[in-house]
Amino acid sequence: GVREAVSRAIVAARVSKKTESLGVREPSRGRYVSSWKIKPEDVSDEAKTELVIRANKAGLSVDGIKSSVSRLGIQHDWRYVVSSDGAELEYESYLIGVAHLSVAVESGSMERVTNQESSVSGWEFIERRDWEEFTQGVSKLAKEAVKASLPPAGKTRVIADPEMVGLILHEAFGHATEGDLVASGTSILKNRLGEEIASQLVTIVDEGIVEGGYYVPFDDEGNLKKRTVVVERGVLKSFLTNRESAARLNLPVSGNGRAQDFTHMPIVRQTNFYMLPGDWGLEEMIKEVREGLYLVGKGSSGGQVDTGAGTFTFSAGPSRLIKNGELGELVRGVVISGSILETLRGVEAVGKDLRITTSAFGGCGKDSQMVRVGDGGPHILIKELIVGGG
């Protein structure tokens, strides 16, 4: 049990020849609980099954949809962290959501569209939403997208929606701010603290508790997780750290030492990584662009990132061309690529909206560990990205 595990840890520490300096922190104590009204386990399995079957049938009812998959995701997370320097922290949270995949086929062409909605909440989140409408919306988008053309290839001005902004920030920039990668020299941001690396319109933060995101009141080393300002008005201000990387970089402990579960060691991970809003409206941005592309994150299948080189390639979901300052035809198979620093420097407008999301259907993987995260931001206008189709 726990006592045996503690005894083994003490023995292992005594015989280990490896020593690590740790960042200084004030030990904290407390109990944190996310908000919920109805515990998911208090809802019958029959009710849960009926929900998924009903939602899936609704998605399949749309003409042209050949197959669909609906899922209900529920996570109950309880963590209790005690350390030898006096930290003692506990939290409990629920994460719940519904995901749907629709496959449309027409004239030998096939299009898959996925979407999910999740919330740190109880079963009341499920009761508030019309999930048949949700799955039908995914199917209707797939039906429209299967008929769409590929986007024109080349460099173009783009507007990215909040979900796409979250994907770009988390994958292409967020990982490069993780202190262990910075300390090991595998981040393009090494030795750049204090430099202007982005447009002055850009402020990026990592925060443990934020509306729409995942719930991380403290990390798995027992450090409270508050707001870490990573980029402020374009200037790189900080990295994300656990105690080990904080000591190596001579930086404060930011509360980003996270573990998948008790069988894994905490490593540096993001919590809720997002861009703060500005003062532009979406319609203003569309008129400003005149000719370009409106990138949509819904339906994206991810991509590839090189944190050392600072380059990325991502797919977007079905998106829309911008013509004469208005949203135009739908395009599919959208692929974008570029340099993350050039992209951030090329931000020409930041929306006044803000949307942060999390997911009960996966998370972020690193060093064979998976943790839940949140990401997002406002709509942003980017001067130039390389766009292709496939």
Per-residue pLDDT of the chain (390 residues; tens, 9 = 90+): 667 777 777 777 677 666 578 877 888 899 999 999 999 999 999 999 999 999 999 999 999 999 999 999 999 999 999 998 999 999 999 999 999 999 999 988 999 999 999 999 999 999 999 999 999 999 999 999 999 999 999 999 999 999 999 999 999 999 999 999 999 999 999 999 999 999 999 999 999 999 999 999 999 999 999 999 999 999 999 999 999 999 999 999 999 999 999 999 999 999 999 999 999 999 999 999 999 999 999 988 888 999 999 999 999 999 999 999 999 999 999 999 999 999 999 999 999 999 999 999 989 999 999 999 999 999 999 999 999 976
CA-based nearest residue to 79, from 214, 173, 192, 188 = 214
Torsion of CA 237, 242, 247, 250, to 10 degrees: 0
With tokens 């729409």, the residue in question is: 212
Which phi and psi (to 5°) does residue 183 adopt? -65, -30
SS3 286: helix
Residue 16: exposure state from Cβ atoms within 10 A (0-12, 13-18, ≥19): exposed
For 32-145, the fitting CATH number among 3.30.2290.10, 3.40.50.300, 3.30.300.30, 3.40.920.10 is 3.30.2290.10
In the numeric block, which tokens belong to residue 354?
A: 């803000």
Helix axes 131-145, 45-60, angle to 10 degrees: 30
CATH 3.30.2290.10 location in the chain: 32-145
**Which spans in 203-281 are helix H?**
243-249
Give yes or no for a contact between 355 and 163, defined as CB atoms under 8 angstroms apart: yes
